[in-house]
Structure 1
Amino acid sequence: MKRPAKSAAELEALIRVEIEEVCAWPTGMAITVQPDGETWKATTMQDGGEPDEGPINILEAVVNRLRAEFDLAI
């Protein structure tokens, strides 16, 4: 069964909202959603310093769950 499709901006917003429900969104952190073969991936960028592993681990879990629920609208 085909999953519902969301735009990259919609997926980015969903990811951010879910992370903010658990922890503060790291200052200077941005996320982008891009096609990745038959699915999509999320990439983070953060200004200065090493990213905090807590939000990154949460991000991975959220992205994996959303990837199973939604396709990327191209």
Structure 2
Amino acid sequence: MLVAVIFVVFPFCMLFAAVSDTLSMTIANRVPVLLVATFAVVAPLTGMDWATYGWHLAAGSLVLAVTFGLFALG
């Protein structure tokens, strides 16, 4: 069941984001929220240790900060 969640949620979110971005040039906020929420629930269940979990969250935060900066530059 856990593997099914991993291999269904991510591709569905990517497909939904690609289609909505293609059609309307927007990606709904529910897509990244669903991805983060799924990661937060599923990652500890996979046996991921807290250090790796923290590194994943740090990398996501860094990417978010960089993209905010690029958006601010125009």
Q: TM-score, normalised by structure 1?
A: 0.33
Which structure would you say has the larger RCO, counting Cα contacts within 8 Å and 6 or more residues apart? 1
Structure with higher helix content: 2
Structure with higher strand content: 1
Q: Which structure has the bigger radius of gyration?
A: 2
Q: TM-score, normalised by structure 2?
A: 0.33
